[in-house]
Amino acid sequence: MDGAWATSTAPSIGRCRLFGPGTSNQQVNLGEEVDSENDHFFGLNEVTKRVDGGTRTFGLECREFTGDTTMFKEIMLSAVYLGRR
């Protein structure tokens, strides 16, 4: 997953987590933005536990941890399957 975040009132801290079957579901702090109005880019990678065949749903949740003006944007989530059919 790749994305960007910005704040209009620094300092501010963002937090994201990947969720779905086999994920760790752990939240990751994105660090503290000490400037305003500039985009800060981030990426998250996760290898899931074994997931049985079929349709599965994965997602991303991002929110402010401190501050009140955090904006998340340009989010792209991709998945790759490795294994046998």
In this predicted structure, what is the pLDDT of residue 67?
A: 65
Q: Which residue has the tokens 């760790």?
A: 24
d(CA 37, CA 77): 24
In this predicted structure, what is the pLDDT of residue 37?
A: 74
Contacts of 36 (CB under 8 A, 6+ apart): 6, 7, 8, 9, 10
Per-residue confidence in pLDDT tens, the chain, 85 aa: 888 888 877 778 888 888 989 888 888 888 777 777 788 888 888 888 888 878 888 888 888 877 667 888 888 888 887 776 6
In this predicted structure, what is the pLDDT of residue 68?
A: 67
